[in-house]
Amino acid sequence: MKDYSVDELTITQADGSTQLRLKAWVLSDSYTISVYSGTQKIAQLKPDTARYDVCAAFHMPIEDNTYGIDQTVGLKGTYRSVRIVVTADGEDFCIGEATDETPGFLEQTTAKLSALSRNIRRGLRWAWNDYHFLVPPAVLAEKLRSEKRRTEQSGEAEVLDPRDPEQYAAWLAKQTYENESGRADVTFVTRTPRTFRDYPCLCMDTLQPERIHTAYTCFAGKDADLYEPFYAYLPQCEGYDLCVFDSDRLDADGNRCDPQLKPEYSPDTLRGVNYIGSVFAVRTECLKDLAGMEMDPYRILLELSEKDLKTNKIDKVLFSDQKSTDTKKTLDAFFRDHGIDAETEEADDACITRYALKEEPLISIIIPTKDLASDLETCVNAVLEKTDYKNYEILILDNNSEEEETFRYFEDVQKKHANVRVIEMKIPFNYSRLNNIAVSEYAKGEYIVLLNNDTELISGSWLKEMLGWAQLETTGTVGIRLLFADNTIQHAGILMGKGGIAGHAHHGGMDNEGCYYDLRIPYNVSGNTAACLMIKKDRYIACGMMDEELQVAFNDVDLNLRLREKGYRNIFLPYVRMHHYESKSRGNDIAGEKLKRYMNECVVIRQRWGKYIDKDPYYNSSYSLEADYFLKGQ
């Protein structure tokens, strides 16, 4: 029996005829569909639709695929019920029934995927962004262009571009806001006299907490304008140490543009740009040790980032602001005053922060592999030839290789390089277990890098850059930008909820194309792919290592989120690059036990991390999960 899913199946009668609506897919290169009423065959249909989402979800070839059918068919005569039967590879099976008594009723009478088929249906809508994505970016780009044309023609925009003033204005026009129902115990603090309704306002050049007699202090920069709904949300600061709001900007003509839809509190992102802006509310008690500080909102936020804060992020655009122009000066002063050995590099209104290495510890680079010697050689040679950090070892995990070429390469690379070891692991493939054994039994390094065998290093400073962040006491994993062979983006951090579980941010986007923060500076993410990931060894072990129940998919997602639960923050470095040719040696999860395993892993992650899947803390809820960093349509 083939794998399949029915997205839509209805019948309606009118003027002595019946209209059948069928949208479905079947995982077969060639199949036909017969429509029955009772035992009478009343129509036969052929697949007519390319389903690249199915290709991505099940790792099928994309060339000339017609896995899908999307047809509305007129049938002579009136039929109260129909049964849909698929014939594929000499096998007949029913994929659904519909009756006119319950329009749209669908019963999968022989669902091979049973309950899990229903769970994955949602994921197949977005499988363009499947976590283990195999559809080339060029195909994805054409699909997105096609979808854009379709929504423009229908007038039903699913997503809106926040960089387009007209689309942003259309999105704003449909926003709803809470009614004002209470008054906040807040004093506004500014550097120049201003009025904020009937709330008290104090003008200060330096922070004087002793003058503030309310529970909360709301800072308002000189160029910030509060929109009317702001005051309805101000009471929501109660119970928190810091409350943050979304913002936008006003252009020269006073039109609203450039929305800043912010993540939840991201202290490491803050050390590169004041993404919060100049309007935020703080529990006054948290300001007492900052008395005498210059009234610079960014510097105050940096000082607060040193504290353990309970924060609230309100996903509503409630004020306008202007971009900060003194980021580097403020950051340098903060690092100097706190004795933090870090350098900053300007990137327009933001900064790339690099932490000086406290020492040069041994780093263990772990590469699981099975055959594909030429790909492995490309990966290892790039590391050996380009890496400018000297104290590292490479552990190649030989998981049941069979080809003589592979064994010759193992022998040769170990003879030539004393810091390369091949470790034989004759166990069934389990990505989590392979890495766990390597870390716990073989890795000598204080830090480890998990690395795929189908990668090729671009940035020679990668280990120094990653170690600078990994050495911080607050850091969980450190990831980097991974690119396809055509330099489109394969990974820019893990985005929870994308596709129903998790996906790679900016997947398929252009490497030189401006997007969120223009991918310039380090920023907090929910996680990083284990295709290239650094973590301190003792933290990896302390959090329980990779879950071996998750043999192939989502084990890195799980690891990242367990670190977050323990209070660590995961960091993505967009300016460090590596090619990733993606899952060459893993094979295709087409059907049978592999498919069952993959779907079971989906269920485990959904049950374990549902709160993050429902709301990624580093992805604003106003953004769409269908198109990264685009506004949700209405």
pLDDT, tens only, 372-398? 899 999 999 999 999 999 999 999 999
pLDDT at 12 exceeding the cut of 90:
no
Q: What is the mean pLDDT of residues 263-289?
A: 96
Per-residue confidence band for 149, with pLDDT thresholds at 50, 70 and 90: low
CB 383 within 8 A of CB 458: no
CATH fold for the domain made of 4-112 = Immunoglobulin-like (2.60.40)
Q: What is the mean pLDDT of residues 604-626?
A: 93
**Predicted TM-score of the model (pTM):** 0.78
Task: Give CA separation, 466 vs 6, 10, 365, 410, 462, in Å.
Answer: 45, 54, 13, 27, 6
Give the pair of three-digit tokens for residue 33.
């569909």
pLDDT of residue 348: 81
Task: Give CA separation, 115 vs 28, 178, 596, in Å.
Answer: 21, 39, 12
Count of residues making up the chain: 634
pLDDT digits (tens, 9 = 90+) for 209-222: 999 999 999 999 98
State the architecture of 186-355 in CATH terms: Alpha-Beta Complex (3.90)
* CATH topology match: 186-355 vs 363-632: yes
Q: What is the mean pLDDT of residues 433-441?
A: 97
Task: List, in order, residues 6 or more apart from 36 with CB less than 8 Å away.
Answer: 42, 82, 83, 84, 85
Per-residue confidence band for 5, with pLDDT thresholds at 50, 70 and 90: confident
- State which of 30-44, 343-357, 433-447 shows the largest mean pLDDT: 433-447
pLDDT of residue 601: 83
pLDDT at 536 exceeding the cut of 90:
yes
Q: Which of 14-28, 118-132, 303-317 has the lowest mean pLDDT?
A: 118-132
The DSSP secondary structure of 26-56, one letter per residue, reads ES-SSEEEEEEETTEEEEEE---B--HHHHH
CB 532 within 8 A of CB 482: yes
CA-based end-to-end distance of the chain:
40
Bridge-based pairing of strands 186-190 and 216-220 is parallel
pLDDT of residue 347: 87
- Name which residue leads in pLDDT, 507 or 495: 495
Q: Where are the domains of the chain?
A: 4-112, 186-355, 363-632
pLDDT of residue 112: 33
Task: List, in order, residues 6 or more apart from 96 with CB less than 8 Å away.
Answer: 6, 9, 24, 83, 84, 106, 107, 108, 109
Cα–Cα distance measured from residue 31 to residue 228, given in angstroms and rounded to the nearest whole number? 59
pLDDT at 515 exceeding the cut of 80:
no
pLDDT at 589 exceeding the cut of 50:
no
pLDDT at 46 exceeding the cut of 70:
yes
Q: Pick one of 3.40.50.300, 3.90.1580.10, 3.90.550.60, 3.40.50.2300 as the CATH number of 363-632.
A: 3.90.550.60
pLDDT of residue 120: 39
> What integer best gives the mean pLDDT of the chain?
86
Q: What is the mean pLDDT of residues 50-73?
A: 70
pLDDT of residue 510: 76
Residue 556: DSSP 8-state? H
Residue from 540, 395, 382, 520 nearest 462 by CA:
382
pLDDT at 303 exceeding the cut of 80:
yes
